[in-house]
Chain A
Amino acid sequence: MIQFLSHIISGLSLGSIYAIIALGYSMVYGIAKMLNFAHGDVIMIGAYVSFSATQYFGMHPIASVVISVIMCTILGIAIEGFAYKPLRKATSLAVLITAIGMSYLLQNLALLIWGANPKSFTSVVGLGTLSLFGGEMHITSETIVTVLANIIIMIALTTFINKTKMGKAMRAVSEDKGAAELMGINVNLTISMTFAIGSALAAIAGVLLCSSYPSLMPTTGSMPGIKAFTAAVFGGIGSIPGALIGGLLLGLIEILGKAYVSDQLGDALVFAVLIIVLLVRPAGLLGKKVHEKV
């Protein structure tokens, strides 16, 4: 029983990271109607920036996270401005290929800057471990921070989308780009803002991911990126609660699948679930109500 609880906690921790990454996919898809496959690699860059700030410049871990968020926000806006904005009127296939190209560009840039050797990421939390039931169960401080960060981000983002003027603009652009423009909404600014928020979240996700699983290399972002994309589709792409539920479920399925089905099939199970969900509910779990897309 305690073992089961431990697995649930591991699953929630992993799922929270997937959820934060999935948010970036979902928001960009909801508003710009494109799949930003470079999102996973922004995560990797975020982790590298934080790593470099602490290792090479001796900065405080918290300060390194702030730097990482700022750098990734700038990077996200830059990627959107250079690579995606000129293609606003192009076919969705062209945009998709550009995004895949951007993903490889970022990976190879990281290879050039930080080299091929993997790095061991030092946790930015590092407050030790909570021991429960006389040492039978352990909850790391990374887990607690990850889950808390996930909750805070979800609440903040929902409030932002529903209560602020920019949030309103985002909802409008997501619903009908042309009509929003006629109403005086600056569509380009709104989309840039979406990328900025998505990339800032990617930086946080990158730091949390590497704090829990401390290995960092240029391909670090790709697998979590694909799984988070799966989570976004699973929950209903374009929906914030969908990303949350999709991410958490995916984390739980992966860990419990490994623990109770087969440790070699963890990843296979994750994608099998995706296929089944899409067969039954093509729009994902929460992806039905079109007017809620953000």
Chain B
Amino acid sequence: MKFTKTLITVLLVVAMALCVPFAMAEDAIKIGIIGPLTGPYAQYGLAVEYGAKIAAAEINAKGGVQFEILAEDDQGDGELGVNAYNKLLDDGVTIMLGTVTSGSCIAVSEYAYEERIFMLTPSGSADAITVGKDNIYRVCFKDSAQGTASAQYIVDHKLATKVGIIYNNAQDYSVGIYQSFLARANELGLEIVATSSFSDDKNADFSVQIAEMKNAGAELVFLPIYYTPASMILSQSNAIDFSPVFFGVDGMDGILALEGFDKSLAEGVMLLTPFSADAQDELTVNFVTTYQNTYGDIPNQFAADAYDGVYALFAAVEKAGITAETSPEDACEMLIEVFPTVEINGLTGVMHWDSTGEVDKTPTAVIIENGVYVGAK
């Protein structure tokens, strides 16, 4: 009797396990997201997941091509990223939207290139991600593009003639932007009066770096770093009455949402970012409202990149005629074919891609006034 019961239980469990794959919507194309959904970078991964889900829901409501978003956690780590990638393929994913962080993206993109899986990273910005890989595309700017664009913007708008730089020499992102900024600044004849770096963003003392900027007479300090160390540089500069123009890149986005941060310290800070949640166009307003109602938070640039990424995939999938039955390998070749012809008008601007996988869009400069982003002239 006991044996029969056990047998029935086991059979039931097996039957249920077999049923699950058939129970899901068969006609939806599965898109896999890999990103840090837990751990110290969770805010980025979750933003991507949420942004993508909003876009997919909108697309599915139109009735045509159907998307199903599957997200796997990699905690921003390359090894876990590869595991997540394999898990998603096992789950029947056709296209990858990921990974979210650069380090993990470099690791996963190698596999995706070898195994011919199409990958569109919303936010992996390291230059190396797309180099030499015909099936890896990205929505955000690559690091070097941000540095070049920043130097160009500063010169074009005559923001300053003497520029100082503080960057994080322990982070690929920061070093990459710094180097391209420096190269472009030299071409344009922009005078770099001081360069300083740090290697640890936890409670670092920036007094030495700030003193260096001040003594060199920097009128503008370029900060190609994340907002946490930037917030400390702003507060320590304020303490010694040093107030140049601070100019950041997309890593600066988030500083106003930093809990406990005195927003008046960020007054006048400029940053080059493709997305601003305060923009008044219809697309942004709708997105921000939906995001806030669904997830109770203001979306950041990562969410916007993911939203645009899903729409770009939608446009490409429609053009190429990919269906849920298309194998990932076939879909990859079809997408490589059509992606350079896709153009979308998204949250982060009007964008199209070249065959190297890089996006072409215009970054917009915003300036922080009274605690909110305002479009800079």
Query: In this complex, what residue of B is CB-closest to A256?
Result: B208
Chain A: CB-nearest residue to B239: A140
- Say whether A213 contacts B203, CB under 8 Å: yes
Q: Decide: A217 and B202 in contact? CB cutoff 8 A.
A: yes
Task: Tell me if A100 is interfacial: C-beta within 8 Å of chain B.
Answer: no
Most buried by A among B212, B232, B241: B232
B232 A116 Cβ-Cβ under 8 A: no
User: What are the residues of chain A within 8 A of B41 when measuring CB–CB?
Assistant: 116
A175 within 8 A of B: no
Which listed residue (B169, B207, B211) contacts A264, Cβ 8 A?
B169
Do A122 and B228 touch across chains, with their CB atoms under 8 A apart?
Answer: no
Contact A259 B208 (CB under 8 A): yes
Q: State whether the Cβ of A117 lies closer than 8 Å to any Cβ in chain B.
A: yes
CB 8 Å contact bits of B241-268 with A (1 = contact, 0 = none): 1000000000000000011111000000
Task: Pick out which of these stretches binds chain A: B94-102, B193-201, B287-295, B328-336.
Answer: B193-201
Q: Do A254 and B205 have beta carbons less than 8 Å apart?
A: yes
Instruction: For chain A, residues 1 to 46, give those with C-beta under 8 angstroms from any C-beta of chain B.
Output: 3, 6-7, 10, 14
Indicate whether B42 reaches chain A with its CB closer than 8 angstroms.
yes
A240-280: which residues lie under 8 A (CB-CB) from chain B? 254-255, 258-259, 263-264, 266-267
Is B279 located at the chain interface by the 8 A CB criterion?
A: no
Cα distance, A224 to B205, chains bound together (Å) = 11
In this assembly, does B135 line the interface, its C-beta being within 8 Å of a C-beta of chain A?
no
Chain B residues, Cβ within 8 Å of A142: 239
Tell me the residues in window 131-145 of chain A with beta carbons closer than 8 Å to chain B beta carbons.
131, 135, 138, 140, 142
Complex contacts, B260 vs chain A, CB 8 Å: 51, 55, 119-122, 214, 216
Task: Report yes or no: A263 in contact with B207, Cβ–Cβ below 8 A.
Answer: no
Interface string of A205-232 (1 = CB under 8 A from B): 0000110111111111011100000000
What A residues does B204 contact at CB under 8 A? 213
Contact B203 A10 (CB under 8 A): no
Q: Are B239 and A118 in contact (CB under 8 A)?
A: no
Mark each residue of chain B from 18 to 29: 1 if its CB lies under 8 Å from any CB of chain A, else 0.
Answer: 000000000000
CB pair A118 B235 closer than 8 Å = no
Name the contact of B241 in the complex, choosing from A14, A129, A266 (C-beta under 8 A): A129
CA distance in complex: A14, B207 (Å)? 11
A213-B262 contact in complex given A116-B40, A135-B241, C-beta closer than 8 Å: no
**B residues in contact with A55, CB < 8 Å:** 259-260
Are B259 and A214 within 8 A (Cβ)?
A: no
A9 and chain B: residue at smallest CB distance: B207
Contact A117 B43 (CB under 8 A): yes
Across the interface, name the chain A residue whose C-beta is closest to B257: A117
A120 near B231 (CB under 8 angstroms)? Answer: yes
Q: Is the CB of A3 within 8 A of B232?
A: no
Given contacts A51-B260, A119-B259, whether A214 and B200 have CB atoms under 8 Å apart is: no
> B116 → chain A, closest Cβ, in Å?
35
CB atoms of B258 and A119 under 8 A apart: yes
CB nearest neighbor in B for A224 = B203
CA gap between A231 and B312 in the complex, in Å = 55
Task: Give the contacting residue for A258; candidates B208, B228, B232, B259; CB below 8 A.
Answer: B208
Residue interface bits A93-118, CB-to-B below 8 A is 1, else 0: 00000000000000000000000111
Q: B228 contacts A118, CB within 8 Å?
A: yes
A36 to chain B, nearest CB (A): 20
- Indicate if B229 sits at the interface (CB-CB under 8 A): yes
The minimal Cβ–Cβ distance linking A14 to chain B, given in whole angstroms, is 6
A interface residue count range (under 10 / 10 to 19 / 20 to 34 / 35 or more): 35 or more
Verify A210–B207 contact, CB threshold 8 A: no
A14 CA to B42 CA in the complex, in Å?
31
Whether B241 pairs with A120 at a CB distance below 8 angstroms is no
Q: How far is the CA of A117 from the CA of B228 in the complex (A)?
A: 10
Per a CB cutoff under 8 Å, which of B39, B169, B199, B261 touches A120?
B261
Shortest distance between the CB of A182 and any CB in chain B (Å): 45
- Shortest Cβ distance from A259 into B: residue: B208
Say whether B240 faces chain A, with CB atoms less than 8 Å apart: yes
Instruction: Let me know if B258 and A118 touch, CB within 8 A.
Output: yes
Contacts of B228 in A (CB 8 A): 118, 215, 217
Query: Which residues of the partner chain B approach A119 to less than 8 Å between Cβ atoms?
Result: 258-260
Nearest chain B residue, comparing its CB with the CB of A213: B203
Complex: how many Å from CA A258 to CA B210?
Answer: 12
The smallest C-beta distance from B302 to any residue of chain A, in angstroms, reads: 13
Are B235's CB and A214's CB within 8 A?
A: yes
Query: Please, what's the 1-or-0 string for A36-63, where 1 marks a CB less than 8 Å from any CB in chain B?
Result: 0000000000000001000100000000
Given known pairs A213-B205, A214-B235, the reply for A138 and B240 (CB within 8 Å) is yes
**Of B201, B239, B261, which is within 8 A of A138 by CB?**
B239
Asked if A222 contacts B258 (CB within 8 A), the reply is no
A43 to chain B, nearest CB (A): 10
**Which chain B residues lie closer than 8 Å to A120 at the CB level?**
231, 235, 258-262
B209 within 8 A of A: yes
| Interface members, chain B 71-124 (any A CB < 8 Å) | none
A217 to B229, CA, bound (A): 12
Asked if B6 is at the interface (CB within 8 A of a chain A CB), the reply is: no
Q: Are B197 and A10 in contact (CB under 8 A)?
A: no
Of A51, A118, A264, which is in contact with the most chain B CB atoms at under 10 Å from its CB?
A118
Q: Is B280 an interface residue (CB 8 A)?
A: no
Contact pick for A215, options B197, B212, B231, B241, CB 8 Å: B231
Inter-subunit contact A6/B199 (CB<8 Å): no
B223-237 interface code vs A (CB 8 A; 1 in, 0 out): 000001101100110
**Residue B215 at the chain A interface, CB threshold 8 Å:** yes
In this complex, the member of A7, A222, A263 whose beta carbon has the largest number of chain B beta carbons within 10 angstroms is A263
Interchain residue pairs with CB less than 8 A apart (19): A3-B215, A6-B211, A10-B207, A116-B40, A117-B43, A117-B259, A120-B259, A129-B240, A213-B232, A213-B236, A214-B231, A214-B235, A216-B260, A217-B202, A220-B202, A222-B202, A255-B207, A255-B208, A263-B208
Sort A-B residue pairs by CB-CB distance and give the 5 closest, nearest first: A120-B261, A138-B240, A213-B203, A120-B260, A10-B207
B contact residues vs A (CB 8 Å cutoff): 39-43, 169, 196-205, 207-209, 211-212, 215, 228-229, 231-232, 235-236, 239-241, 258-262
Extra contacts, 5 of them, besides A51-B260, A222-B202 (Cβ < 8 A), are A55-B260, A119-B259, A220-B203, A255-B205, A255-B207
